[in-house]
Structure 1
Amino acid sequence: MDFSGSDKKKYVFYFRVSTKRQGESGLGLDAQRTYLNHFYSGKNVLAEFTDAVSGKSIDNRPQLLKALELCKKEKSILVVAKIDRLSRNTEQALSIYRDLEGRLESCDIPNLDKFTLTLFMAIADRERELISIRTKNALDEVIRRRNGKNWREASAAYKTGEASKSGILAIKAKALANANNKRAGALISEYRDKGFSWQIISDKLNDAGFKASKGGKFQAVQVQRIYYRIVEPV
């Protein structure tokens, strides 16, 4: 990226938060704005667009589509604070990169090009897949315990994935209802934006007197779960 401030390029800022609640509260949005204002101070910014939706698809993000349309019309550069604010899908991110003829920048990927974009997105894709696997394994374990560790024929809802979806929604609802998790989520988001590891964040929460859902100390894996259930739902 050229941060000299002397170029005459035109820029369009794009922000995304995962829920309407986060958009209204500024949770995550303020951090994104801080990054862009820092790195692009004095730049020629044409407009800003913000969506409050999941990052799984670009079809349900009207503000992103408007931002892309403006970038194509003005030959401007689309800028995001973090690449996962643009998309969590490698193919979608590369498609946007091609449509903009490479006019895409992200504060967390200096000198972004097709290679680095592909690499970062592939890592994000794998992390999302691992989270899905861990969630399914946790649900399988619950079913095994409820049946006295004896497997029974899976129901139609489980085979079609509806049972899994319901279980995930129930887990998320419980986490969101936990006031302690909400307060911890705000701190986790702040620390994660600063680049802290899950272990360091858990240590900071414990030092601050926060308690896990069962009253014990926070572990790194618990911090990660809260982040992906409350701060950045996958």
Structure 2
Amino acid sequence: MTRAVAYYRVSTAKQGASGLGLDAQRTAVEGLCTTKGWEIIAPPFTEVESGKRDDRQELTKAIAHAQITGAKLVIAKLDRLSRNAAFLLTLRDSGVDFVAADMPDANSLTVGIMALVAQQEREAISQRTREALAAAKARGTKLGNPNGAAALLRAARGNTAAMEAAQRNANNHAERLRPVLARLRREGLTSLGAIAAALNAEGVRTPRGYRWHASSVRNLMARLAN
């Protein structure tokens, strides 16, 4: 019988204490497992945490338990987490076979695309915020944060965690490509353009899912050299 590990998340302590949101998630996960004939082998891992935060201790525990038991990681809803790039990258790169009750056909490729969209959306929001602040300053508006420095520090921590996750993903992707790059060199491909063409011909993509160019191959080599 296929084994499963359940992971749930609610945004507030009030929701966690009342069961609001958890009941629906539990129903979705248990219903999927019953339909598929899967056995949930451990108590569910439940996170009471804002979706804006990237550090997920219970998610880390759930992934680790699934890894050591060979179980599937089953979550209730993937769409609610689609704006959290760090969560999606952690899920994609864990190597654990996962299933979302609301998107049962989602796979690592799907999650990778969602992570790219999430990252682009975050960058677009940041750019729009900078432009709005610049426009307000030009109008003579006094800028400031009514919530004080604490809110800025929380935002900075969230951005730093996302950037660190993206950096880890790029490093892991580069290491997986190290033997491929060595093989291409043994085959006599030495120029950046030739290597890029070979990678594209083999269907290999950059960490962000794009085609290779000489500049991206140069960046790959620099990352592997560090």
For the Cα contact (< 8 Å) 2:54–2:86, is it kept in 1? no
3-state secondary structure, aligned to 1:40: helix
Aligned twin of 1:213: none
3-state secondary structure, aligned to 1:95: helix
Overall identity of the aligned pairs, in % = 37
Are 1:93 and 2:88 matched, yes or no? Answer: yes
Q: Which runs of 5+ in 2 are unaligned?
A: 153-226
3-state secondary structure, aligned to 2:23: helix
Report the count of equivalent residues: 150
Aligned twin of 1:62: 57
Aligned twin of 1:112: 106
**TM-score using structure 2 length:** 0.51
For the Cα contact (< 8 Å) 1:97–1:103, is it kept in 2? no
Q: Which runs of 5+ in 1 are unaligned?
A: 1-7, 145-149, 166-234
1:67-216 aligned at under 5 Å gives the runs: 67-83=62-78, 88-99=83-94, 101-124=95-118, 151-155=140-144, 157=145, 162=149
Comparing 20-29 with 125-134, greater Cα deviation is found at 125-134
3-state secondary structure, aligned to 1:154: coil
1:26-65 aligned at under 5 Å gives the runs: 26-41=19-34, 42-47=37-42, 48-59=44-55, 61-65=56-60
Aligned twin of 1:205: none
* Offset of residue 79 of structure 1: 0.8
Q: Name the amino acid aligned to 1:109.
A: M
Deviations 1:152-204 (A, max 9, x none): 3535x58xx84986xxxxxxxxxxxxxxxxxxxxxxxxxxxxxxxxxxxxxxx
* Offset of residue 122 of structure 1: 4.1
Please say which structure displays the higher CA radius of gyration.
Answer: 2
For the Cα contact (< 8 Å) 2:6–2:45, is it kept in 1? yes
Distance 1:26 1:92 in 2: 23
Distance 2:3 2:112 in 1: 24
**TM-score using structure 1 length:** 0.50
Point out which structure has higher relative CO (alpha carbons under 8 A, 6+ apart): 1
Aligned twin of 2:204: none
Aligned twin of 2:12: 19
